[in-house]
Structure 1
Amino acid sequence: MSAVVSAVRPAEPVQPARRSLHIAMVAPPYFHIPPSGYGGVEQVVADLVDGLVERGHQVTLIAAGEARTKATRFIPTFPEPLSDQLGLPTPEVLHAARVARALEGLDVDLVHDHTLAGPLLARGRLAPTIVTVHGPVSGDLGVLYEALGDTIKLVGISEAQRAAAPALPWVGTVYNAIRVETFPFRAEKENFALFIGRFHPEKAPHLAIDAARAAGLPIVLAGKCAEPIEKAYFEEYVRPRLGPDVTLYGVADAHAKRELFSAACCLLFPICWEEPFGLVMIEAMACGTPVVALRRGSVPEIVVDGRTGVVVDTPEELPDAIHRARRLDPRDCRAHVEHEFSVARMAAGYEAVYERVLSAIAEPSADGQLHLSAGTA
């Protein structure tokens, strides 16, 4: 089965749950839930767990390290997260094996997996496995999901992501979200641009430096630079551009990034790849800070061009885009995130996906196959 359905975007106001479900939520093994600093997927998982519990569901969270969520139950696979092994295959595989053992003793309605290796063990489970795809599906990951076929049901985090592999077994699109109330709104901005993200060719902070400098603005760069590719990129592209107008902040924790987001006059997001979803964009806009970005991946879905930011096609257009973004109303940025990217809306979106999958299993078609109809829940 290769069903393609449209985004699951429940109408406002978000309605309460139709029934209580028991959901096994499987997080990656690399950071605490929620993370103290870097860890976008882990932050989304933490907020989703809390949002589902607030809607009356039972959630058993399976992850590494500590979990500070509202989960009904927490099962750790490792006493500490395996942050130093990020990118290596062994931690994912061992984590998946321990998750499988934990699931043997659980009576759940479904398994919601956010890992790479976990879906390999979905075949044969009585409960369906729903996988949120946090990465691009145009390469090896798409080949993996194609091979797994109907043993899993995929949820996209943007329409741009799904468009790269429309034949995969998608069951919906649910945008990532944040707890908007935890991000301070500030209308009066300071005279600096901000880049937050990995020091990586795909994120292209060197383009952010060039754009801010051409616009006559100092820039603050905050982000992770730990992996070999990040260190090599920094030395070749970032270090030669350093100067008195560039501040290297390092990794910003939850408190620090909120201060940076709220103070900056704009967030620069000059990505050079088809990023499925840039969480920093909604975090910045929640603080009233417009986003200046290149038109790649999910950017056009997240940023309202000319209202909550400026989206352009080439790096040469970024300096002028910065000047245009500074004239936008910060209140529009905040309102956009409150309406489109709240945790309540994300939780209701996933709930609609769960109901759709469970209903399709309960009512198979005449040919005995599971068919998911198009349209929103």
Structure 2
Amino acid sequence: MKQLLTNLLVLSPVAERGGAERVMVDTLKYLNRNKFSAKLVFFEHGSLVEEMSRLGYDTEVIPADRLRDLGTYIRVVSKIRKLIRNDQIDIVISWMPKAHLYGGIAALLEKKKSVWWQHMIPKNHWMDKLASRIPAHGVLCPSKVTKHFQEKLTPNRRVLLNNLGVDLQQFGCSTNKTKSFREKMGIPEDSVVFAFVGRLQRWKRPDVVIKAFNQVAKGKNTYLLIIGGTLFGLEQDYEDELKELAATGENSKIIFMGHQKDVGAILEAADTVVHASLMEPFGMVIIESMAVGKTVIAVGQGGPVEIITNGNDGLLYDGSESQLVQLMDKVLNGRVSLAEIGIRARQTVEKKFTVAHMAENFENNLASLIN
């Protein structure tokens, strides 16, 4: 007997790649299509519309504009309801709280199950609070810390853990491009290269990494790569502030690279990746770096402590600039076995944090909500 498909309607308010959107793409890319069928609706036009179409998914754009426009809101919810009926949708999955403001109501009115993805640690933001009040059969969270804070907002609702994963075809399996990349960037082959990877936003604290680097880099053969830029129009002046900060120290050794499509190839050329967020909801950059066999230095709270075993497959610090300086200095002076830690880091990712694990957890979580 042919197995019946579970029909999913996935709603995304954003159609460009950010952290949450990358998780959505990778999850759906590895979704078992013998069990699940999915249609995607984006609330704006963007590159992800075509990307998901190339993956074989039916996609549609329903412009949502601003929530304060009641007429537009009603129109969007009505269109989602129509899709639920026409496509015989079983579960509405809203990717992020904003999408659930539409999808949760549409599913409720159509008497269908609804789930939403909470990518960030929920705080006292009005959107998190409002989304958490709209009925849902479950909320998916990437880490225990995110799950903990979401449960405080929704104590009577199922909140399920769904760790993230790395596509090992993109990270850690490429040919070694270290020498060619360093030559291209004018970095000596025998240099120690640190890297910061992520959006340039204040909460990610790249300024702390630059300050710490400026302290340890004096007279040393070392460089710092800043990989990433502003996104979604947030804090657009911050990159200029960081460049001014870099100019106060080892400016010639700090390279701002902007957004990069092939981050894995650049990570091959780094020795150590430094992460500085004080309360990271998970740490996708951390597991990507570990997949490439790099030693990650990360703050010992939030998502990173669920990934890294300190001293075994990475290094944790208290978040202070002073302790970060100490660890970076140890790396520079060869008092950390980067090769051994890198091998164990890769093994941790292979065991726990691949896209296959992430997609399987996603399917199991959905199955638990259906049954």
TM-score band, normalised by shorter chain: 0.7 to 0.9
The partner residue of 2:309 within 304, 309, 316 is 304
In the TM superposition, 1:156-305 aligns within 5 A as 156-167=141-152, 168=154, 169-185=157-173, 191-216=192-217, 217-225=222-230, 230-242=235-247, 243-253=251-261, 255=262, 257-272=263-278, 274-305=279-310
Q: 2:349 maps to which residue? A: 337
Q: What is the aligned counterpart of 2:51 among 57, 60, 67?
A: 67
Match of 1:356 in 2: 368
Q: Structure 1 residues 353 and 227 mapped into 2: Cα distance closer, same or farther (>3 Å)?
A: closer
| Unmatched 5+ stretches in structure 1 | 1-17, 360-377
Which structure has the larger Rg over C-alpha atoms?
A: 2
- Please report how far the alpha carbon of residue 74 of structure 1 lies from its aligned counterpart in structure 2 after TM superposition: 1.3
Greater CA deviation, 95-104 or 291-300?
95-104
Residue 112 of structure 1: aligned partner: 93
Q: Which residue does the alignment assign to 1:131? A: 116
Distance 2:338 2:34 in 1: 38
Q: In 2 relative to 1, CA 251–237 (structure 1 residues): closer, same or farther, beyond 3 Å?
A: closer
d(CA) in 1 for partners of 2:11 and 2:90?
14
Q: Distance in 2 between matches of 1:170 and 1:325?
A: 42
Distance 1:70 1:42, change over 3 A: same
**Distance (whole Å) between structure 2 residues aligned to residue 316 and residue 325 of structure 1:** 21
**SS at 2:315's partner residue?**
strand
2: CA distance between counterparts of 1:215 and 1:95?
A: 54
% identity of equivalent residues = 19
Task: Choose 318-327 or 307-316, whichever is displaced more.
Answer: 318-327
Q: CA RMSD in A?
A: 3.0
Query: CA–CA distance in 2 between the matches of 1:299 and 1:117?
Result: 26
**Residue 48 of structure 1 pairs with residue 27 of structure 2:** yes
8 Å CA contact 2:150, 2:159 repeated in 1: no
Going from structure 1 to structure 2, the CA distance change for 1:164 and 1:239 (only over 3 Å counts) comes to same
How many Å separate the matches in 2 of 1:19 and 1:248?
50
State the AA in 2 paired with 1:357.
Answer: L
Q: Is the 8 A contact 2:97 2:117 kept in 1?
A: no
Work out which of the residue numbers 143, 149, 159 in structure 1 matches 2:129. Answer: 143
1:239-286 CA-partner distances (Å, limit 9, x unpaired): 232311110111111x2x1111122111111113x2212211111111
**In structure 2, C-alpha distance between the alignment counterparts of 1:19 and 1:117, rounded to whole Å:** 30
Offset at residue 20 of structure 1 (A): 3.9
State the 1:97 CA deviation. Answer: 6.1
Equivalent position amino acid for 2:144 in 1: E
Distance in 2 between residues matched to 1:337 and 1:19, nearest whole Å: 33
Unaligned runs of 5+ in 2: 179-190
> Quick one: higher RCO (CA 8 Å, sep 6+), 1 or 2?
1
2:298–2:304 contact (8 Å) kept in structure 1: yes
The answer to whether the 8 A contact 1:291-1:310 is kept is yes
Query: In structure 1, what is the equivalent of residue 140 of structure 2?
Result: 155
TM-score normalised by L of structure 1: 0.77
Deviation at 1:70, TM superposition (A): 7.1
Q: 1:218 to 1:308 in 2, by over 3 A?
A: same
